[in-house]
Structures are given as structure tokens and as C-alpha cells.
Amino acid sequence: MTVIEEMRRTHPAAGTSDALARCIQACLECAQACTACADACLAEEMVAELRTCIRRNADCADVCDTTARVLTRLTGENAATLRAVLEACRVACAQCAEECEQHADMHEHCRVCAEACRRCEQACAEALAAL
Amino acid sequence: MTVIEEMRRTHPAAGTSDALARCIQACLECAQACTACADACLAEEMVAELRTCIRRNADCADVCDTTARVLTRLTGENAATLRAVLEACRVACAQCAEECEQHADMHEHCRVCAEACRRCEQACAEALAAL
Amino acid sequence: MTVIEEMRRTHPAAGTSDALARCIQACLECAQACTACADACLAEEMVAELRTCIRRNADCADVCDTTARVLTRLTGENAATLRAVLEACRVACAQCAEECEQHADMHEHCRVCAEACRRCEQACAEALAAL
Amino acid sequence: MTVIEEMRRTHPAAGTSDALARCIQACLECAQACTACADACLAEEMVAELRTCIRRNADCADVCDTTARVLTRLTGENAATLRAVLEACRVACAQCAEECEQHADMHEHCRVCAEACRRCEQACAEALAAL
């Protein structure tokens, strides 16, 4: 059992969705992968050609971090915000994946990051469907 | 001239929108006000009745912080994400303002925070219109 | 292999420390656990007695998030900052664990969170030793 | 009166230090300036020579954001963490300023950012002295 699942299980609010727990995990992995990919792109000789990739990585990391936090909270009511944040995260992940995929053949860090983004995009879609 | 405006003016990318610069300022003020309001609500004797207020404050602070960062970046291209993030921020601010306004008569921190949220909601709408 | 390890392995900068990679993982788990524990404490009937716990959870979550990001970056040089951030994270985790442990018998979420904090405190100490 | 000051004044906890309120303002300005400077450096033709500058900007932005949040909270007790976070922020700002100052003649965004970093470094030192 992951710490995410343990924290869900021990929360006073009952019956939280598996799709939301999976989405938190996907957001945390994607945020870290995007911060790492921005940093790895910056270290590449061809950094000047990777500006949009670095930009989308940085934006996606910020959005995923926020989404993981909003999804983690179960107390009180904020459904409209949760929905809008998940939608923004789905878009940020899709935009970042699209860019990273263009560099995946040349830079393995872009390939790994694109996969994390696609998993998170999918997890956001499933979390939205489960709301 | 604020530091935000100075940083805009000295950026290699020219011609950035005043509406976006104002929105960054509104997001930073709103994020700080929301973190402070959550903390002030937690200190109130009637904290148990302020759970949704604390929740919306915390979510709104996270979303505003991320929005300020995404808006600050001008290099590369990420327009679809910027639009989705501004929309999420507009919703988070509206939801938080709506809740804080219900406690504004009793708690002055909720009144000040609600005003910051409404300004940020408006600034996000104007930034979206300016894209 | 975790995504964190994959991103490390594919980065242009070689030879990164295992202790740093483990510390990133511990920070991400601890940040999420602390956000969840603050939220779970807020949902408890005895919320008024959990104010310091919620405060330390919120601070610890913010510090762990930042530490994970700083640790993830390998490009350029910022050793003095990395060291100071790891030290702050070690302190934040210790302070949060100490408080959560006092409620661990009554609230299982505090027990799980305290364990995540102690693991992160230890991981920060090991990362500092590996610098 | 700034929103930061209004939120301080309306908080149930009385007698908060002016030095802490000024430090919050300095952290928010510095975080935004650092995110903007990293982005402006990325847009420069000579980006490959600005890697350490971008790295220190990104780290400093994260640390300042977290410091502003920790400083904003007045409820509960977390003095040891507050002290360690302020010390980390002082170091991050000093390291970033030192690097930006080396590019200040060539890049005006580095000059403006270095000034924001030095103000924040000073504000952290004064906040530490006021604790």
C-alpha cells in the first residue's frame, strides 16, 4: 500500500475514489519528471532549440503540483474548483507530452517525461469521469 | 513601477499585455491573502464552522501561485495551458470569494480575503479577454 | 525502476547520488502525507486541539515540495542553497513528526504522517551526508 | 495599506512583527522576479552561458514562495522551522543575487532580479533578528 493510499484509508471522510488516489500519484510523478526534464533540457548542447519544451515542462510541473494538493483535500466542498483544476492539468499534460514526444528519439529524458505526462493526462480524464 | 513591471519591461520578448501583468499582481496578492485567511480561520473559536472556508482558501492559494508562475513565463509557446489555468483560477477565486463573503460580517479577514479573490477573479477574466 | 530513477538515469549530468534520489521520493511522499494529514485533522471533531498539528503539516508540505524541486535540479551550481534547504527540510520534518506522534494513538492519519516525516527527516540527513 | 498588512491586522493573533510582514512582501516580489529572470535568461541568445543563473533563479523562486507561506502562518507553533526556512531563504537569495550580478551589465532583467534578491536577503536577515 502506498502512503497516498494509507492517508486516504485513515481520513475521517469515507469512500474516496480510487481514480482520485491514482490521479494524485500520477500528478506527483509527472511534476517531478517535468522539473527533471526542464533541467535536463537546460543541460543539453542544443538548449536553444528546447525553449518551448522547457517552458511546457515548467508550467506542467506547477500545475501538477497544485492538482495533487487540491485532489488530496477531502474536507469541505470545492467541487467546481476541483473540476476546473483537473481540466487545466489535463491540458497542461497534453501540451507538455506533445512537445516532449517530438524530442523523444533524441533525448531519452523527453521520452520518459512524455510517458509520465500521458499517464497523468489519462489519470486526470479518469478522475474527471469519476467525479 | 512595480518589480513585476520592471521584469516585464526588461524581458527579451516584447509587447506583453498590461492585463497579464495586472493579473500576476492580483494572483500574488490573492494567494497570500488566502493562505493568511485559512490560518486566521484556523485560529477562530468557531473553526469547526469554517472548514469549507479553510478548504477553499487553501485550494485558491495553490491555484493562484501556479497561475502567477505560468503568467510570468513569456518564452516558448503554451497558450492552451495558459488559457486553461486562467479559467481554473477564475473559478477557484469565485468559489473562495463566495464562501468568504458569507463570513465577512463576522470575520474581517474573510472580508479582506473575499475582496482580494474578487479582484483576482476579475483580473483573470480580463487576462483571458486579452489573450 | 521509479520515474524518479528513470529521469536521473537519462539526465545529461552523470553520477548522481542514490541518497539524493531517495530523498526526492521521501520528500514527495511526505509533502502529500502532510497535506492529507492537515486536511484530515481539519475534519476531526477535536479540530480546535489540532491547530499546531495542522500548522506544522502545512509548513512541512511546503518545505518538502520545494526541497524535492531543488534536489531534482542537477544543472548549474547551487550547493550552498541545496545544503540550507535540506537542513530546513530536516527541521520541518522533525517538528511535524514530533507533533503528529502526540496524536498517533488517537488519529491513524497522524501515525502514518509521522512515519512519512521521520523517513523524510532521515533521508534529508543522509542526503546532507552524501553531498 | 497593502493586502499583506490588512490580512495581518485582521488576524485573531495579535502583535505580529513589521519585519515579518515586510519579509513576506520581499519574498513574493523576489519569487516572481526570479521566475521572470529564469524565463528571460532562457530567451537570450547566450542561454548556454546562463545555466547557473537559470538554476539559481528557479531554486530561489521555490524557496521564496515557501518562505512567504510559512511566514504568513501565525496559528500554532513552529518556530524552529520558521527559523530554518528563513535561513535557507537568506542563502538562496544571496546565491542567486551573486550570480545575477555577474550578468547585470549585459542583461537588465538580471540587474532588476539581483536587486530583488538582495532586498529579500536583507529582509530575511531582519526577520531572523526580529524572531
Residue spans of the domains in chain B: they are: 17-130
Nearest CA in chain C to D57: C78
Pure H helices in B2-107: 3-9, 18-43, 51-72, 79-102
CA distance C57 to B33: 19
pLDDT for residue D94: 98
Q: Of all residues in chain D, what percent carry a pLDDT higher than 70?
A: 98
SS3 C73: coil
Best mutation target, C47, C49, C81, C96, to test chain D (most D CBs within 10 A): C81
Which residue on chain B is closest to D31 by alpha carbon?
B69
Residue D85 has pLDDT above 70, yes or no: yes
- What pTM value is reported for the model? 0.96
pLDDT mean across residues, chain C: 94
Mean of the pLDDT values across residues D77-91?
98
pLDDT per residue, tens digit, chain B (131 aa), is: 788 888 888 888 755 678 999 999 999 999 999 999 999 999 999 999 999 999 999 999 999 999 999 999 999 999 999 999 999 999 999 999 999 999 999 999 999 999 999 999 999 999 999 98
- For residue C6, the chain A residues in CB contact (below 8 A) are 112
Higher pLDDT, A17 or C26: C26
> Taking residues C92-109, what's their average pLDDT?
97
- Measured CA angle at B125 (ends B123, B130), to 5 deg: 90
- Whole-number CA gyration radius for chain C: 15
Q: How many CB atoms lie within 10 A of CB C66?
A: 29
Name the pLDDT band for A4 (thresholds 50, 70, 90). confident
Grade residue C11 by pLDDT with cuts at 50, 70 and 90. confident
Q: Is C84 helix (H, G, I), strand (E, B) or coil?
A: helix
Select C17-130's CATH number: 3.40.30.10, 1.20.140.10, 1.20.1270.360, 3.30.230.10: 1.20.1270.360
Percent of chain A clearing pLDDT 70 (strictly above): 98
More confident residue, C3 or B86: B86
Q: Phi-psi category of B13—alpha, beta or left, where left has phi over 0 and alpha has psi -120 to 50?
A: beta
pLDDT at residue A16 in the model: 64
Q: What distances in angstroms separate CA B32 from CA A78, C26, C49, D105, one per listed residue?
A: 19, 27, 25, 33
- D76, amino acid identity: G
Cα–Cα distance measured from residue A108 to residue A116, given in angstroms and rounded to the nearest whole number: 13
Q: What is the pLDDT of residue C14?
A: 58
- What pLDDT is attached to residue D4? 85
- pLDDT at position D15 is 56
Cell 543575487 found at: D97
Task: List the single residue in B42, B51, B58 with the smallest CB-CB distance to C51.
Answer: B42
The three grid cell numbers given for residue B117, joined into one nine-digit string = 479573490
A1 CA: distance to closest CA in chain B (Å) = 27
Q: Report the pLDDT value the prediction gives residue C3, as an integer from 0 to 100.
A: 85
ipTM exceeding cut-off 0.90 for this assembly: yes
Between CA B24 and CA B29 the distance in angstroms is 9
* CA distance linking residue A55 with residue B13, whole number of Å: 14
